Chain A
Amino acid sequence: MLRKIRIGLAAAVWVAITLLFLDFTGIAHAWFGWLAKIQFLPAVLALHAGIVVALVALTLLFGRVYCSVICPLGIMQDGIAWFGKKSRRNRYGYSPAKNWLRYGVFVLFIVALVAGIGSVAALLAPYSSYGRIAQNLLGPVWAWGNNILAYLAERAGSYAFYEVDVWVRAWTTFAVAAVTFVILAVLAYRNGRTYCNTICPVGTLLGALSRFSLFRPVIDTTKCNGCGLCARNCKSACIDSKNHTVDMSRCVVCMDCVEKCHKNAISYTWRRRRAVAPSSENTAGADGGRRRFLGATVAVASASALHAADKTVDGGLAAITEKQKPERRTRIAPPGAVSLRHMAQHCTACQLCVAACPNGVLRPSGDMMTLMQPEASYERGYCRPECTRCSEVCPAGAIHPIDIADKSSIQIGHAVWVKTNCVPLTDGVECGNCARHCPAGAIQMVPSDQSDPHSVKIPVVNHERCIGCGACENLCPARPFSAIYVEGHEVHKYV
């Protein structure tokens, strides 16, 4: 019964959290947004003391329930392990804890967090890993499914579904997600919760607490016939059936053993005696820290624009060269991020904001120090004045909630004009598309020749009013590089 409750809850939570990363309409967040906020690491980084205390209390009371029903990565591994168990019954066995690895990784994690090397922390954190997997691997599938529905809806004259772009935000992050998934899938398929009990820093921390948990699986030696069935079905490899002990630092209270035992010798009940932690060592499992990255090189294909072509016939569409990302000296963090340092300190790189961004602005950083943390760029869209989605979904307090009024007054960067690309000067035509679309009124068009008021007009940027939203950069007709682009600011401020 307890096992069935666990599975039911876990499935519901997993589906809901996964939806957070897939749904691009914002509906899922209205309902399940809180599930991201009760994730352990985001709660710690957001300094949500209440949530952290509650999770600690939960663990002290019932053991690592968190790992079984709240952590989406844990639930995902259980799902994969279930297939593993179907292919071979009783496939697990007891193995001693690999404490040197667990605590080593944990220390590394803490050091990385304190030192502000977000990329290492983000690689190890379970919720972040899951977010990346969901956003990078499941997201496209979901979006394609939606696009099929949109295709059908269009033909049925319905506006219920609309097409969305499917694109890889950053190949490094995609590769990390894919590699993480493959490693986790292999580990989980073969040995169940290896990652959770060797690498996962949250697992290690909660494991340290759950040693003292009030409720736990207890083996009744009077009923136990020593068949070892419990140990061979324990995905945490934490039941030493010979000594009738359960290593509570690794047990994720999945209740499989309770249900499996033919003799009803295992019950989930009050603690009776202290478990003795075995101390022998063994090498098994893969080193999750051993990951390499390949900087994805973007092929530069620039077709020449049709600018000066003489129009002799009617119809047809001019070719459009894709925009390319300009070299920004300072990266751009979304409004609400307060500062680049604040972002680096709090972001768990879970990709929730990246998944939520409806304008194609946010994508994971490729910089080693801030790897996979969000940054803004405006080749596909710009940070629209009515949108505050990323600030609403961030569970880690890396992007503070802002309202629409804040949105148009927070300065996250400023626009820089690039004379050599500006269309009035290159093509000799009137433009002003940047000025026309600036939501802050920061751009004016002035005659390019001081002495000739009728010369073609060029934009000038009032840096005091510019908020760095990128409307100018995105809508600039110059391609592949815009004639006006945004430089990020280290610290955001209200203007």
Chain B
Amino acid sequence: MMIKTTINNMDRRGFLRRVGIGTAAVGVAALPGCSPKTEVSADEYSADTSDIPTDKMTFRRNPSTGDNVSLLGYGCMRWPTVKGEDGRDGEEIDQEMVNRLVDTAIAHGVNYFDTSPAYCRGRSEHATGIALSRHPRDKYFIATKMSNFAPSTWSRQASIDMYNNSLKELQTDHIDYMLLHAIGMGRGMDEFNARYIDNGILDFLLAEREAGRIRNLGFSYHGDIKVFDHLLANHDKYKWDFVQIQLNYLDWHHAKEINSGNTNAEYLYGELEKRGILAVIMEPLLGGRLSKVHDHVVARLKQAEPERSVASWAFRYAGTHPGVLTVLSGMTYMEHLTDNLRSFCPLKPLTGDEMQFLYDTADLMMQFPTIPCNDCKYCMPCPYGLDIPGIMLHYNKCVNEGNVPESAQAENYQKARRAFLVGYDRSVPKLRQANHCIGCNQCSKHCPQSINIPAELARIDRFVEQLKQGTL
């Protein structure tokens, strides 16, 4: 009996594999106007079951220093944590896991690691430094930032201290890629001047590049487009080696539509391309929002490429742009890393039709009223104890799962109401929920996506009240 069952299972698995491959071909063929290559899998793409090749990583060359940078870069903003006592956020970084992730990444050719003094409650650089220092220094490139957001760090000395501390934490004597962090945030040009010009820090960093302790200098941009334009207008003066921008198939056309304070990636990338500046891509997956999508979107993407993950579309999209140096991904779990390695070892660029298919998908996504939160936690900690990203992620999850009913007459109202409310208490402790937001608005200026956080929380809270009181 046992033997028989096993054989049956094997048969079924074998059968499924054949069917799977069949659907893959059909799925790609079903793309409107697409001219698919039928000889998929084997040489170009390794399906979930096979080992990932260690020598197939796609690299891009940085002309200013001649670096060969892996197209997949490691974002160190989302390191795994060991769960602490109070809720969802871990207290300590899981160093053992970080080491394993870094080892696996380097073994497969990843050589760009992007961190910041602000990430992971200020602990990212330290953990990244420990993991990287176990490898030869010439095997990887370190990117870190001048994260002098707090007014208390705007003085020249405080900023230089931050820079020196980065060198110490990362256990190195030079930074390969140094960035002015998130220019355009807060009060736009005024804040930029306060952070980098008035205190002479930009001059300091330029001098450090001259001295070779910074090999490439660039900036990352969010928010006020005036600052971005200003820095590019002065490219001749500053000679930016690279610029980090947010680029993905949703933000290509829709960033401004999602939030009028933001700028479409099409413009940002176009400006860089015009000047021949390489782009480092952040938020290619929008913190998971391009993989945690509505079921309709999952079906659409999976139908086209049944053996690839939903996330892989976003990474291949970012990597397909030729002016991209590397695509950053904050891979918290080994599964994230392996899935991304499959997308980049090697990269199979998207065709023009496939790009258009993604733009159509983005149009479809715009119909779902999710909040554009990428769980970057820049807004945290909220001084009044709220778990801002936790609340928004729960709301988005319910939107994507169809558990945000429009009225009490909705067909699945009872079920959706329970799922929303019970799930809310599970995801966010009661004292950290939206009804505790006092609207002080200290958070919004930290949000790279320019979300009006108090307004969104008040909206969610009103919805919760309507569910609880049965007045929807």
A and B held together in a complex:
yes
Q: Show the binding face of A for B, using Cβ within 8 Å.
A: 154, 159, 162-163, 305-320, 384-386, 423, 427, 429-433, 436-437, 475, 477
Q: Contacts A307-B383, A310-B152, A311-B446 given: A316-B121 contact, CB under 8 Å?
A: yes
Chain B: which residue is nearest A380 at the CB level? B430
B267 within 8 A of A: no
Tell me how far the C-beta of B238 lies from the nearest C-beta in chain A, rounded to whole angstroms.
Answer: 26
Tell me how far the C-beta of A301 lies from the nearest C-beta in chain B, rounded to whole angstroms.
Answer: 15
B435 within 8 A of A: yes
What would 6 more interface pairs be, CB under 8 Å, given A309-B383, A311-B381, A314-B120? A159-B423, A310-B150, A313-B118, A314-B118, A314-B378, A319-B385
Interface size on B, residues (CB 8 A): 48
Q: Closest 9 CB pairs between A and B?
A: A313-B122, A429-B440, A315-B377, A431-B438, A320-B385, A162-B422, A386-B469, A316-B381, A316-B121
Q: Please tell me if the beta carbons of A318 and B381 are within 8 angstroms of each other in the complex.
A: yes
Q: Please tell me if the beta carbons of B440 and A431 are within 8 angstroms of each other in the complex.
A: yes
Tell me how far the C-beta of A338 lies from the nearest C-beta in chain B, rounded to whole angstroms.
Answer: 25
B458 within 8 A of A: yes
Residues in B354-388 with C-beta less than 8 Å from chain A: 376-378, 380-385, 387
Tell me how far the C-beta of A251 lies from the nearest C-beta in chain B, rounded to whole angstroms.
Answer: 50
B441 within 8 A of A: yes
Q: Contacts A162-B422, A317-B380 given: A312-B438 contact, CB under 8 Å?
A: no
B139 within 8 A of A: no
Tell me how far the C-beta of B94 lies from the nearest C-beta in chain A, rounded to whole angstroms.
Answer: 15
Per the bound structure, the CA–CA distance linking A123 and B439 in Å amounts to: 48
Per the bound structure, the CA–CA distance linking A234 and B17 in Å amounts to: 75
Residues in B407-446 with C-beta less than 8 Å from chain A: 415, 418-419, 422-423, 425-426, 431-432, 435-442, 446
Which residues of A sit under 8 angstroms from B423, Cβ to Cβ? 159
Q: Please tell me if the beta carbons of A475 and B436 are within 8 angstroms of each other in the complex.
A: yes
Tell me how far the C-beta of A320 lies from the nearest C-beta in chain B, rounded to whole angstroms.
Answer: 4
Q: Please tell me if the beta carbons of A316 and B383 are within 8 angstroms of each other in the complex.
A: no
B322 within 8 A of A: no
Per the bound structure, the CA–CA distance linking A75 and B10 in Å amounts to: 59
Q: Please tell me if the beta carbons of A163 and B121 are within 8 angstroms of each other in the complex.
A: no
Interface hub of A311, A436, A437 (most chain B Cβ within 10 A): A311
Chain B: which residue is nearest A312 at the CB level? B150
The 7 listed contacts between A and B (C-beta, < 8 Å) are A311-B149, A313-B118, A316-B381, A317-B380, A317-B381, A319-B385, A432-B439
Tell me how far the C-beta of A439 lies from the nearest C-beta in chain B, rounded to whole angstroms.
Answer: 9
B153 within 8 A of A: yes
Which residues of A sit under 8 angstroms from B436, Cβ to Cβ? 433, 475, 477
Choose from B151, B376, B382, B458 the contact partner of A318 (Cβ within 8 Å).
B382
Q: Please tell me if the beta carbons of A320 and B431 are within 8 angstroms of each other in the complex.
A: yes
Q: Please tell me if the beta carbons of A318 and B435 are within 8 angstroms of each other in the complex.
A: no
Q: Please tell me if the beta carbons of A431 and B439 are within 8 angstroms of each other in the complex.
A: yes
B119 within 8 A of A: yes
B86 within 8 A of A: yes
Which residues of B sit under 8 angstroms from A430, Cβ to Cβ? 438-441
Per the bound structure, the CA–CA distance linking A422 and B415 in Å amounts to: 40
Which residues of A sit under 8 angstroms from B432, Cβ to Cβ? 317, 320
Which residues of A sit under 8 angstroms from B438, Cβ to Cβ? 423, 429-433, 477
- Chain A contact residues, majority secondary structure: loop
Per the bound structure, the CA–CA distance linking A206 and B35 in Å amounts to: 92
B117 within 8 A of A: yes
Tell me how far the C-beta of A474 lies from the nearest C-beta in chain B, rounded to whole angstroms.
Answer: 9
Which residues of A sit under 8 angstroms from B381, Cβ to Cβ? 306, 311, 315-318
How many A-B contacts are there with CB distance less than 8 Å?
Answer: 117
Per the bound structure, the CA–CA distance linking A226 and B396 in Å amounts to: 80
Q: Please tell me if the beta carbons of A315 and B152 are within 8 angstroms of each other in the complex.
A: no
Chain A: which residue is nearest B384 at the CB level? A477
Q: Please tell me if the beta carbons of B383 and A318 are within 8 angstroms of each other in the complex.
A: yes
- Chain B contact residues, majority secondary structure: loop
B33 within 8 A of A: no
Interface hub of A318, A386, A427 (most chain B Cβ within 10 A): A318
Which residues of A sit under 8 angstroms from B119, Cβ to Cβ? 313-315
Q: Please tell me if the beta carbons of A318 and B384 are within 8 angstroms of each other in the complex.
A: yes
Chain B: which residue is nearest A360 at the CB level? B430
Tell me how far the C-beta of A456 lies from the nearest C-beta in chain B, rounded to whole angstroms.
Answer: 10
Q: Please tell me if the beta carbons of B118 and A159 are within 8 angstroms of each other in the complex.
A: no
Per the bound structure, the CA–CA distance linking A45 and B385 in Å amounts to: 46
Choose from B87, B89, B422, B442 the contact partner of A315 (Cβ within 8 Å).
B89
Which residues of B sit under 8 angstroms from A433, Cβ to Cβ? 435-439
Per the bound structure, the CA–CA distance linking A55 and B154 in Å amounts to: 81
B468 within 8 A of A: yes
Per the bound structure, the CA–CA distance linking A313 and B124 in Å amounts to: 10
Tell me how far the C-beta of B68 lies from the nearest C-beta in chain A, rounded to whole angstroms.
Answer: 31
Tell me how far the C-beta of A385 lies from the nearest C-beta in chain B, rounded to whole angstroms.
Answer: 6
Which residues of A sit under 8 angstroms from B418, Cβ to Cβ? 159
Choose from B120, B440, B442, B458 the contact partner of A436 (Cβ within 8 Å).
B458
Binary per-residue interface labels of chain B (384-400) against chain A in the complex, 1 for a CB within 8 Å, 0 otherwise: 11010000000000000
Which residues of B sit under 8 angstroms from A423, Cβ to Cβ? 438, 440
Which residues of B sit under 8 angstroms from A305, Cβ to Cβ? 383
Which residues of A sit under 8 angstroms from B352, Cβ to Cβ? none
Which residues of B sit under 8 angstroms from A385, Cβ to Cβ? 469
B66 within 8 A of A: no
Tell me how far the C-beta of A447 lies from the nearest C-beta in chain B, rounded to whole angstroms.
Answer: 16
B63 within 8 A of A: no
Q: Please tell me if the beta carbons of B380 and A315 are within 8 angstroms of each other in the complex.
A: yes
Q: Please tell me if the beta carbons of A318 and B385 are within 8 angstroms of each other in the complex.
A: yes
Tell me how far the C-beta of B272 lies from the nearest C-beta in chain A, rounded to whole angstroms.
Answer: 26
Q: Please tell me if the beta carbons of B121 and A427 are within 8 angstroms of each other in the complex.
A: no
Residues in B437-472 with C-beta less than 8 Å from chain A: 437-442, 446, 458, 468-470
Chain B: which residue is nearest A423 at the CB level? B438
Which residues of A sit under 8 angstroms from B89, Cβ to Cβ? 315-317
Chain B: which residue is nearest A154 at the CB level? B426
Per the bound structure, the CA–CA distance linking A154 and B426 in Å amounts to: 8
Tell me how far the C-beta of B63 lies from the nearest C-beta in chain A, rounded to whole angstroms.
Answer: 33
Which residues of A sit under 8 angstroms from B470, Cβ to Cβ? 386
Which residues of A sit under 8 angstroms from B377, Cβ to Cβ? 314-316
Per the bound structure, the CA–CA distance linking A155 and B425 in Å amounts to: 14
Which residues of B sit under 8 angstroms from A308, Cβ to Cβ? 383
Tell me how far the C-beta of B75 lies from the nearest C-beta in chain A, rounded to whole angstroms.
Answer: 13
Chain B: which residue is nearest A385 at the CB level? B469
Which residues of B sit under 8 angstroms from A317, Cβ to Cβ? 86-89, 380-382, 385, 387, 432
